[in-house]
Amino acid sequence: MAKPKRKLTPAEKAAKKLRREKYMTIFINGKQKRVLRPETIDGLSVDEFIRRNADPLWLHMNEMWEYIDDAPQP
C-alpha cells in the first residue's frame, strides 16, 4: 500500500509561493529548467513601461534616442 501524501507546513507553503513568484519553468533540450522571471512593472516589461511613460527629455538624458517620437507632445 502506498504511503499517504503529507500536507505542507505553513513555512513550506510560503517558500513554495515565493519560488513560484520569483522563478518560471522552461524547457531547454527537452529538460525542465528553472529561470528567473523577467522584471515587470504593473504587468509590463521594463522596456515597454519606459516606452509608454517616459517623456522625451528623460529619454534624451538617458540616451534612449531610438524611443523618442518625432511627433510634438501636447
Report domain extents, the chain: 40-74
E strands, the chain, in order: 23-28, 31-36, 40-41, 44-45
Band the pLDDT of 69: cuts 50, 70, 90.
confident
Q: Which residues touch 39 (CB under 8 Å, ≥6 apart)?
A: 45, 46
Report the alpha-carbon distance of residue 66 to residue 12 in Å, rounded: 46
Q: If you search the block for the grid coordinates 522563478, which residue do you land on?
A: 23
Segment 2-49, tens digit of pLDDT: 999 999 999 999 999 999 999 999 999 999 999 999 888 888 888 888
